[in-house]
């Protein structure tokens, strides 16, 4: 059979078998009912994993080499041939498929499932497959077993929203097939068959899903991806190289990130890590305002970008690879910090958890963030200095000057930390980033670079160092400082806008007063107002935007706009409220249309009683 027909066969089988399984599930009552800790809201057929496994198993049976006598002994020396690898994949995935089916029907205890996963992973190690991350074969064997078990569980955990597990698994398996196709073509075909089986399943599982895969599907997908990543690692030339370690991590970044985030937050919040809940990455993305479908698509994009970074690392040399690995790692770290700040647990439960002794750790990590910023800057300073060498020199020249980089790196790190601390980089509240904070970052970066040049000149007499290195390093450090700090402000502003709720209103007045009013509405959710745009007496402002909200028209268009946009009322700023006939005219319009009229006021008043009026109010 031509090689490309194997994935085609898997795709066709998936398209045909999944609806058949769905019909059987509905007839026999294999239905997942909505529950408090589950995301779906309507009864949905289960056991879609049967279709996925059979669609994968049939082409793998043609690719596998069955030799019962040989399967009884270890076979490390034969893994490069590819055939035994597919046989091991088929046998172990069949075992986990049976384990998943039993769990879907009988609800096995977590420790029972874990034992079964460790058994499958141990069988892989028995046949000699290892990650080859470590020189010690004992350590490497144990890490391989933990890797396979961990990834299997990670894919099981992200099966929490329509189309998520199958889509992320399809992206990862396609990329693993591409990475394996040169040196291990048969495992590459197995990876593409897995991709095809999941893609066919997505036709019935993407929102709105008509069938779920269940554990019998997610365990097979997780194990297969983990094993194929081990097969890739075994094809890399040297133990412990950058592709050995980082390519599998990048390809499977999404399930690893989600599992780490959920486990840490549950542990620090006093919840059991094994407890289910709506606190996964996908759920948090919905909480910030994305629809369920967009949240899943956003995770697809993250998986694809991380996978493409893995392809780059596979093709690049060890000197260039960090230029991709570090930005991906920092981006995922920042995303984890942002998502961890969201309160996904019930308020009553969260209040109870605040009394636990470890809760302050969670609060420091997600709200104060200063310790995290110090640690983050350590990586950014080092990466900026490294990247300046990579941009300044060619590969050969970089190898020549690499000793200079290593010897001067500690001094550069120390100098920049001294400057950052003395100038006040860590005294800012970055959710309220201002021009002064930007100036502080610029001064700190400049002082750090100047101090580093002075120290390098004093210690090394600036011999074999390039002035251009420190110029590039200044630009990179400044960009990293401002980028990470401004991201807190951007994220907080996005959350406020995405979570706006209440009555839709038009804001009258697109000047300074309108800007202050909009900021107050965004910062004060208790007002329960949701602006749709501005109107203003100046027709020249029409079509412009103020803080991201459009100026929809002039005052004479107010009646038409209120009708077209379906607003519940109008809020006028303190400046726009001036004029003898403006308020009566607006009041008459609102009465005629059944709208409310509120006025925004800012005042500074003497406090004479305990019941003093608020300083800023919308009334």
Which tens digit of pLDDT belongs to each residue from 387-439? 898 888 877 787 888 888 888 888 899 999 999 888 988 887 766 777 888 89
For 216-242, the DSSP string reads HHHHHHHHHHHHHHHHHHTTSSSTT-H
82 and 228 Cβ atoms separated by less than 8 Å: no
How many other C-beta atoms are found inside a 10 Å radius of the C-beta of residue 300? 17
HSE (side-chain half, CA atoms, 13 Å) at 123: 21
| 466 has pLDDT over 90 | no
- Give the pLDDT mean for 481-509: 81
CA-only gyration radius of the chain, Å: 29
> Domains of the chain: which residue ranges?
5-368, 370-497, 500-618
pLDDT in tens, 12-64: 999 999 999 999 999 988 887 776 656 666 788 889 999 999 999 999 998 88
227 and 89 Cβ atoms separated by less than 8 Å: yes
How many other C-beta atoms are found inside a 10 Å radius of the C-beta of residue 271? 16
| 273 has pLDDT over 80 | no
pLDDT of residue 52: 95
Q: How far apart are the first and last CA of the chain?
A: 76
Q: Beta strands 529-536 and 545-546: pairing type?
A: unpaired
Using CA atoms, how far apart are residues 408 and 460, in angstroms rounded to an integer?
A: 9
pLDDT of residue 35: 67
pLDDT in tens, 185-207: 888 999 999 999 999 999 999 98
- Give the pLDDT mean for 303-313: 94
pLDDT of residue 72: 53
| 323 CB-contact burial (10 Å; exposed 0-12 / middle 13-18 / buried 19+) | middle
Structure tokens at 334: 């920042």
Using CA atoms, how far apart are residues 443 and 478, in angstroms rounded to an integer?
A: 9
Global pTM exceeds 0.95 = no
pLDDT in tens, 80-133: 433 478 888 999 999 999 999 998 888 888 888 888 999 999 888 888 888 888
Question: What's the CATH architecture for 500-618?
Answer: 3-Layer(aba) Sandwich (3.40)
Please tell me which of 217-226, 316-325, 454-463 the model is most confident about, judged by mean pLDDT: 217-226
pLDDT band at residue 579 using 50, 70 and 90 as cut-offs: low
pLDDT of residue 483: 87
Using CA atoms, how far apart are residues 107 and 481, in angstroms rounded to an integer?
A: 49
Q: For residue 462, is it left (φ>0), alpha (ψ between -120 and 50) or beta?
A: left
Using CA atoms, how far apart are residues 261 and 327, in angstroms rounded to an integer?
A: 19
As a residue count, the chain comes to: 619
Using CA atoms, how far apart are residues 221 and 517, in angstroms rounded to an integer?
A: 52
């Amino acid at each position: 059979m031509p090689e490309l027909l194997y994935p085609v066969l898997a795709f066709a089988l998936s398209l045909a078998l999944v609806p058949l399984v769905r019909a059987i599930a509905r007839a026999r009552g294999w239905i997942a009912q909505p529950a408090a800790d589950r995301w779906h809201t309507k009864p949905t057929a289960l056991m879609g994993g049967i279709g996925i496994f059979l669609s994968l198993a049939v082409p793998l049976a043609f690719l596998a080499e069955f030799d019962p006598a040989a399967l009884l002994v270890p076979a490390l020396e034969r893994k490069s041939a590819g055939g035994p690898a597919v046989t091991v994949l088929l046998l172990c995935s069949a075992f986990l498929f049976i384990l998943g089916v039993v769990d879907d029907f009988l609800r096995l205890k977590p420790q029972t499932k874990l034992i079964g996963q460790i058994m499958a992973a141990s069988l892989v190690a028995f046949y000699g497959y290892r990650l080859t991350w470590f020189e010690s074969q004992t350590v490497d064997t144990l890490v391989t077993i933990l890797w396979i078990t961990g990834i299997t569980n990670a894919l099981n955990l992200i099966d929490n929203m329509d189309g998520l597990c199958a889509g992320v698994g399809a992206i990862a398996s396609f990329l693993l097939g591409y990475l394996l196709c040169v040196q291990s073509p048969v495992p590459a075909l197995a990876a593409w068959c897995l991709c095809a089986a999941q893609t066919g399943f997505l036709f019935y599982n993407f929102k709105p899903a008509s069938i779920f895969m269940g554990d019998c599907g997610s365990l097979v997908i997780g194990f297969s991806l983990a094993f194929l990543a081990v097969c890739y690692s075994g094809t890399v030339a040297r133990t412990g190289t950058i592709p050995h370690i980082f390519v599998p991590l990048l390809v499977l970044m999404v399930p690893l990130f989600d599992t780490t985030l959920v486990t840490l937050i549950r542990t620090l919040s006093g919840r059991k890590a094994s407890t289910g809940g709506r606190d996964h990455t996908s759920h948090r993305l919905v909480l910030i305002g994305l629809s369920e479908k967009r949240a899943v698509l956003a995770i697809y994009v993250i998986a694809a970008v991380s996978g493409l970074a893995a392809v780059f690392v596979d093709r690049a040399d060890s000197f260039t690879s960090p230029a991709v690995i570090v930005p991906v790692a920092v981006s995922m770290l920042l995303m984890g910090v942002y998502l961890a700040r969201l309160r996904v647990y019930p308020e009553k439960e969260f209040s109870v958890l605040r009394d636990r002794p470890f809760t302050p750790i969670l609060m420091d990590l997600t709200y104060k963030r200063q310790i995290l910023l110090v640690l983050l800057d350590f990586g950014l300073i080092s990466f900026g200095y490294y990247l300046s060498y990579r941009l300044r020199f060619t590969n050969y020249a970089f190898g020549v000057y690499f000793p200079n980089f290593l010897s001067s790196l500690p001094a550069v790190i120390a100098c920049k930390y001294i400057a950052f601390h003395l100038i006040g980089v860590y005294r800012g509240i970055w959710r309220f980033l201002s021009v002064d904070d930007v100036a502080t970052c610029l001064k700190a970066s400049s002082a750090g670079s100047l101090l580093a040049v002075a120290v390098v000149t004093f210690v090394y007499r600036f011999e074999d160092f390039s002035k251009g290195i420190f110029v590039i390093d200044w630009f990179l450090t400044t960009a990293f400082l401002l980028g990470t700090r401004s991201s807190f402000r951007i994220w907080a502003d996005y959350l406020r806008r995405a979570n706006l709720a209440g009555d839709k209103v038009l804001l009258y007045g697109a000047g300074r007063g309108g800007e202050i009013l909009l900021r107050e509405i965004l910062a004060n959710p208790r007002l329960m107002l949701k602006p749709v745009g501005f109107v203003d007496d100046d027709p020249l402002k029409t079509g412009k935007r103020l803080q991201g909200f459009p100026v929809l028209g002039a005052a004479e268009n107010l009646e038409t706009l209120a009708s077209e946009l379906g607003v519940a009322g109008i809020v006028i700023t303190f400046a726009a409220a001036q004029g003898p006939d403006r308020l009566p005219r607006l009041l008459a319009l609102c009465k005629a249309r059944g709208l409310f009229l509120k006025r925004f006021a800012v005042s500074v008043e003497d406090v004479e009683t305990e019941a003093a009026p608020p300083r800023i109010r919308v009334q």
